[in-house]
Amino acid sequence: MIRSSGTAGFQSRPAPVASSRLTNAIAASLAIGALTLCLVVMITLLSSNVTMAMPILS
């Protein structure tokens, strides 16, 4: 059984590569999103710690 070349695996045409500007923009937006998520988690944890430290007024 003989396979014809270029029909399976990685023998097809190469996919077009995104431009470096687009790659940098995606990387920057992911970094900003990760930083924002970290800040939201940190603020949430700090506010919950402050809330637990306050005495309950009745």
Would the pTM count as exceeding 0.85? no
The pLDDT of residue 50: 74
Per-residue model confidence as pLDDT tens for the chain (58 residues): 555 555 566 666 666 677 999 999 999 999 999 999 999 999 998 888 777 766 766 6
How far is it, in rounded angstroms, from Cα 44 to Cα 27? Answer: 26
**Residue 34 pLDDT:** 98
In eight-state DSSP terms, residue 2 is -
Q: How far apart are CA 10 and CA 25, in angstroms?
A: 29
Q: Which helix (H) or strand (E) holds 53?
A: helix 20-53
**pLDDT for the residue 31:** 98
pLDDT recorded at residue 49: 77
Could you please report the per-residue DSSP string of 5-51? TTSSTT-SPPPPPPPHHHHHHHHHHHHHHHHHHHHHHHHHHHHHHHH
All structural domains of the chain with their residue ranges: 20-52
